[in-house]
Structure 1
Amino acid sequence: MASRQSLPARPLPDPCSSLDRIEPLEGIDETAWLDVIQKMEQVYTQLIDDEVKLEQKNAELELQQQFIASVMSSMSDVLLVCDRNGRIEQVNRALCELVGRSEAELIGQPVALWLADAASQERAQWAMQDSAGQGLVIELNLLDRHGQPLSVDASCTPRLGGARRRLGTVWVGRPTGELKRAYHELQAAHAALKSAQQQLLHSEKMASLGQLVAGVAHELNNPISFVLGNTHALQKYCKRLQSYLDALHQRQSEAELADLRQRLRIDHLLSDLPELMAGTLEGAQRTADIVQGLKRFSAMDRQQRVRLDLAEVLERALLWVQKGQAQAPRIDWVRPPQPLPVLGSDGPLQQVLTNLLQNACDAVADQIGARRWVRIEADADALAVRVRVCDGGAGIAPEHLSRIFDPFFTTKPVGQGTGLGLSISYGIVEEHGGHLSARNSADAGAEFELSLPRADAP
C-alpha cells in the first residue's frame, strides 16, 4: 500500500496587500470594502485551519500505515491478499521468506502459481469463490524456496467493500510441517517414556522379588523335600512290587509267595500307596502354586483387569513378606468375613501390598519389645475397598510427608532402598482408579491407606 505524501505548503494571498492595489469603484463605499476584507480574512483563516488539519490527518495516516506494516512484517504466519481474480495484491515478509521471492516479484502474480499441486489449486479456487461470506480453513501445499511442497493450514477470509461487495480474499496461513514433525517426535518420546516407565516398574518389581528370595526358597523347599521323600519311597515300593510280581510269574508255591509277601511287606505297601500319592500330589500342587505366584508377581502388566478378592492378594503378599523376614514382627491381621472385590491386575496389586508390608516391617526392624508390630485393617462399603497398613515405628518426619511418593526419595541408608517403591505403587494405584495416602498414625508410627473402587459399585 503506497504511503500518502504530505501536501506542499503554498503561500496564501494577503488580503491587506491586495486592498492597496484595488482602485475605488463608483457606487461602492468604504463599508462594503471592509465587509469584503473581513470575508477574505475568514476564508484565509479557514484555509489555514484546513491545511493544518490535513497535515495532521496525513501524519496520522502515515503512522497507521507504519503500524500496519510493522505488524505484518512481525507476523510469523504468512499473509497474502489477492483480488477477485486471484492475483496477489499484498504479502508480508514471512511469505516472502517462505517462497524465497521479494514482494515486488509476488505482487500481480496469480495465487495458483505458488501452489504445489492441483488439489491445492482447486481448494483455493473454491475458497475464493465461496459466497457465504464466512472464513474457511483449508489445508494447502505451498511451494517453498526450494520448490518443495510445504503443508500450510490457511484461513481464507473474504475482503468486502461497499454494500458488502467482495473485492478479494485475505489468506493467513501457518506452516504445519514443523508442527507435524514435532507432534510425531512427541508421540515417539511418549511411547519411549511409557516403555521406560514399564521397564522401571518391572525392575522395581524384580528388586522387591529379590528381597523375598530367601523366604520363597524356604517356602519352596518344604513341598519339594516332601515330594522328593515320597518319590524315594515310591522307588523302594516299586522294587518290592517288581520282586513279588516276578515270583508270581515264576508260579512259586503258595507258601513261598506268602513268605515273600510278608518279607516285602506288600500289605503295608498297598495301604500306604494312596496316602503317599496324595501327599506327593499335594506337594507338587503347592510348588506349582508358589511358582505361579512368582510368575504373576514378576510378569509385565498387560493392563488386563479382572475381578479379584483383594483379601486373597493381601494374604499372598503377607505370606511372602513374612517368609523373607529373619525375625518377623508381630502382624495383626484378621481377614474380614466378606470378600473385598476389586477390578485390577493381580501382579501389580500384589506388588503394591508387598511394598507397603515390607516398608512397615522395615520401619519396626530396629524397635524392641512391644513396638515391633504391624497392623493390617481392611473394610469395604458400597463404593470402595480400603486397606490400611500401620506400624509401631518412629513414623514419618513432617518434612518428608509431602515427598514420600516422589521418585527416588528414600530415608533408608544408601544401598538399602531405590526410592522407587512408593512412587511406582502410587502410579499403579492411580491406574486402577484408586488412591494411596500416607500419614502418621495416632497410635505410633506411619499409616498407609490404599483405596480402590469396588468391583460391583453402582
Structure 2
Amino acid sequence: MSKDRAPSPLPTAPMEGVDESTWLDVIQKMDEVYTRLIDDEVELEKKNSELEQSQQFIFSVLSAMSDVLIVCDERGLIEQTNAALCELVGRREDQLRGTSLADLLADEASVLAARTAMDRSEAPRGGQGIELNLLDRQGQPVPVDANCTPRVGANGKRLGTVWVGRPTAELKRAYHEMRAAHEALKRTQQQLLHSEKMASLGQLVAGVAHELNNPISFVLGNVHALSKYSERLRSYIAAFHAHQPEALLQQQREKLRIDHLLADLPSLIDGTLEGAQRTADIVHGLKRFSAMDPEERKPVNLVEVIERAIHWVQKGRPAPVPVRWVPLQACTVLGSAGQLQQVMMNLLQNAFDALSTVPEPMVWVEMGCTGEPDRPTVCVTVRDNGPGIPPEHLLRIFDPFFTTKPVGKGTGLGLSISYGIVEQHGGRLTARNTEGGGAEFVLELPRA
C-alpha cells in the first residue's frame, strides 16, 4: 500500500546565509522522513490486519469449542469465556465478564475446590483435574470435569487461572446405559449358554433312560427277592416263637432254605446299594451338567471330564461309534467342569454327526502337553474320518447361528458358545481338515 507524496514546498525567496545546496539537503532529509513515515504506516496497517485475523481465528476456535472455557484473574473474576459456557449457563459473555467464578458454581464443595485450586502457589503447568458442579440456565447443577491451569505473564508472575471443563452428565448417562447393556448382554450370553447345554442334554434323554434302566431294574429285582426272603423269615420266626419241637424247626428251616437265604442276603443288599448308588451318580452327573455354572474357577480333572463326555454322548446315540481315547495319567486345569464338559460333548457330537454316512466310522480323542516349561498347555484333539469341513466354511465355523446341518437339526450355537467358553478359560479352540480326510478340532488349555 502506498500514498502519493505531495511535492516538497520550495522557499519563495532565498534566506540570508543559506545557499541553495543547503536547502536541497534539507528537502532531501524531509523526503526521507516522509517516506519512512509512509512505510511505517503501511507496516502498521499490515500488522493491524494480521492482528485482526489472529483475533478472528482465536474467536472462531473459542466459539467452536464444545468444552466450556473460563479465564479468571488472580481474584477469581471472569475475564473471558466462550460460547459453550454462555450456552450452558444461559448468559452472554458481557454479562459474565467481571463476575466471580463462584457465582457459577452450584454448591459450597465446588466453590471450596475451585478456590483451593486458584490459591495453590505451585500449580502444575499441565493443570489439575477437579470435578465441579455448574449452574445451568435452569439453575440445576451440571457435573463438569474441569482442568485448572495457571496463567502466567511474561515476567513469570501468575496472572490468573484458565478453566477448561467438559460436562459429564451425558457421559455418565452413556456409561450407565453401556453398563446396563453389558449386564444384559452377559445375562443373554449365560442364557444362550444354558439353552445350548439343555439342547445337548435333550439329545441324551434316550441314552440316559437306558443308562438308568439297568441299575433301577437291578434294584427292583433285588427288592422283589428281599420281599420273598422276608416272608420266609417271618414264617420261620413265627414257628420259633411258637416253641415248636426242634425237629419241626429243623424241618421248617430246610423247607424255607433259611441257610441259603442268610448267605444270599449280604450280596442282595450290596447289589441293591450299588444299583442305588449308580442311579444317584447318574442323576448327580446330569444335575451337575445342566445346572448354571458359577463364575469361580476350580481345579478340574480334564481326563474325567473327557471320559464323562464320551460316555454320555455314546449313550445318546442309537448306535455307538468307536472312539479311540488316549488320555494322560493326570491332567488338571483351572475352570468349570460343567462348561468344559459341554465343550467336549459338543465337539464329540459334531464328530459323530459327521460320520452318519461313513461305512466304518471312527473318532480319535488324544491328549498331550505343549507350551513353555513355565507355562505348560494341555492339548486335546478330536478327529474323525468323515468328509471334513468344506474350505469355504472353515472361516465361519465358529460364527453364531452358522450351521451346515438341516433345519431343525442344529442351532448353530454349539461351536460358537464352545469357542467363547474356551476363550474365557484362557485357551484356544481351532478347526482344520486333516491330510487323510476328516475334520480335527484342537482344544488348548493352560494347565493348573
TM-score normalised to structure 2 length: 0.95
Q: Is 1:128 the counterpart of 2:118 in the alignment?
A: yes
Residue in 1 that maps onto 2:297: 305
1:355 aligned partner: 346
Secondary structure class of the residue paired with 1:390: strand
Counterpart contact for 1:340–1:380, Cα < 8 Å: no
The DSSP-based 3-state class of the residue aligned with 1:164 is: coil
- The range that moved more, 44-53 or 301-310, is 301-310
Q: Quick one: distance in 1 between partners of 2:245 and 2:299?
A: 65
Q: 1:256 and 1:44 mapped to 2: Cα distance?
A: 160
Give 3-state SS (helix, strand or coil) of 2:405's partner.
coil
Which position in structure 2 is the counterpart of 1:86? 76
CA-to-aligned-CA distance 1:176-196 (integer Å, 9 cap, x gap): 122122212222211111111
Structure 1 residue 10, shift from structure 2 partner: 12
Alignment match of 1:378 (pick from 364, 367, 377): 367
SS of residue in 1 equivalent to 2:300:
strand
Matched, 1:328 2:320: yes
Is 1:59–2:52 an aligned residue pair? no
- Alignment-derived partner of residue 40 in structure 2: 50
Tell me the CA shift for residue 167 of structure 1. Answer: 1.3
Structure 1 residue 262 and structure 2 residue 254: aligned? yes
Pair 1:40 & 2:30 matched? yes
Give me the identity figure in percent: 65
Question: Which of the residues 90, 114, 118 maps onto 2:104?
Answer: 114
Q: Does 1:423 align with 2:413?
A: no
**Separation in structure 1 between the aligned mates of residue 163 and residue 236 of structure 2, nearest angstrom:** 104
Report the secondary structure of 2:149's partner residue: strand
> 1: distance between equivalents of 2:190 and 2:5?
92
Aligned-partner Cα distance in 1 for 2:132–2:73 = 19
SS in 1 for 2:400: coil
Q: Distance in 2 between matches of 1:238 and 1:402?
A: 67
Whole-Å separation in 2 of the counterparts to 1:377 and 1:262: 59
Contact 2:215 2:278 in 1 (8 A): yes
Alpha-carbon displacement from aligned partner over 1:186-217 (angstroms, at most 9, x marks no partner): 22211111111111101100001111111111
Deviation at 1:12, TM superposition (A): 8.3
Structure 1's 56 and 398: CA in aligned 2 closer, same or farther, altered over 3 A? Answer: same
For 2:210 and 2:447, locate their aligned partners in 1 and report how far apart those are by CA, in whole Å. 35
Q: Match for 2:367: what amino acid?
A: A
Q: After superposition, where does 1:151-162 map in structure 2 within 5 Å?
A: 151-162=143-154
Which is further off, 349-358 or 132-141? 132-141
Change (3 A) 1:10 1:363: closer
253-262 vs 287-296, which deviates more?
A: 253-262
Which piece of structure 1 moves more, 357-366 or 177-186? 177-186
8 A Cα contact 1:317 1:350, kept in partner = yes
Give the conservation status (yes or no) of the 8 Å contact 2:70–2:82: yes
Match in the other structure for 1:25: 15
C-alpha separation in 1, matches of 2:192 and 2:312: 22
- Return structure 1 stretches of 4+ with deviation > 4 angstroms: 9-13
Residue in 2 aligned with 1:6?
Answer: none
Residue 273 of structure 1 and its aligned partner are, at CA, apart by 0.6
CA change 1:45–1:209 in 2 (3 A) is: same
| 1:216 aligns to 2:208 (yes or no) | yes
Compute the displacement of 1:260 (Å): 2.0
Question: Root-mean-square deviation (CA), in Å?
Answer: 1.7
Quote the Cα distance in structure 1 between the aligned partners of 2:423 and 2:5.
Answer: 90
Aligned to 2:320, the other structure's residue is in SS state coil
Distance 1:185 1:389 in 2: 42
Q: Distance in 2 between matches of 1:232 and 1:379?
A: 49
Show structure 2 runs of 5+ residues with no match: none
2:393 to 394, 397, 400: 400
Gaps of 5+ in 1: 1-8
SS of residue paired to 1:163: coil
Residue aligning to 1:343: 334
1:262 CA displacement: 2.2
The separation in 1 between residues aligned to 2:293 and 2:346, in whole angstroms, is 17
The alpha-carbon deviation at position 34 of structure 1 amounts to 1.4
Counterpart Cα distance in 2 of 1:23 and 1:223: 146
* Corresponding letter in the other structure for 2:103: L
Which residue of the other structure, out of 212, 225, 230, is the alignment partner of 1:233?
225
User: Match of 1:412?
Assistant: 405
Deviations 1:31-86 (A, max 9, x none): 11211221122122111111111111111111100100010011000001111111
What do the CA deviations read for 1:96-149 (whole angstroms, capped 9, x no partner)?
111111112111111111111111111111111111142221111111111111
Give the whole-Å Cα distance in 2 for the aligned partners of 1:164 and 1:212.
Answer: 81
1:15–1:41 contact (8 Å) kept in structure 2 = no
Confirm or deny: 8 A CA contact 2:129 2:148 kept in the other structure: yes
Q: 1:164 to 1:272 in 2, by over 3 A?
A: same
Change (3 A) 1:127 1:374: same
1:346 deviates by: 1.1
Q: SS where residue 105 of structure 1 aligns?
A: helix
Query: Contact between 1:15 and 1:37, CA under 8 Å: does it hold in 2?
Result: no
Moved more, 108-117 or 24-33: 24-33
Residue in structure 2 matched with residue 367 of structure 1 by the alignment: 358
1:13, distance to aligned residue in structure 2 (A): 7.0
CA distance in 2, matches of 1:118, 1:160: 27
Q: For 1:94-105, what aligned pairs fall within 5 Å after superposition?
A: 94-105=84-95
Secondary structure in 2 matching 1:159: strand
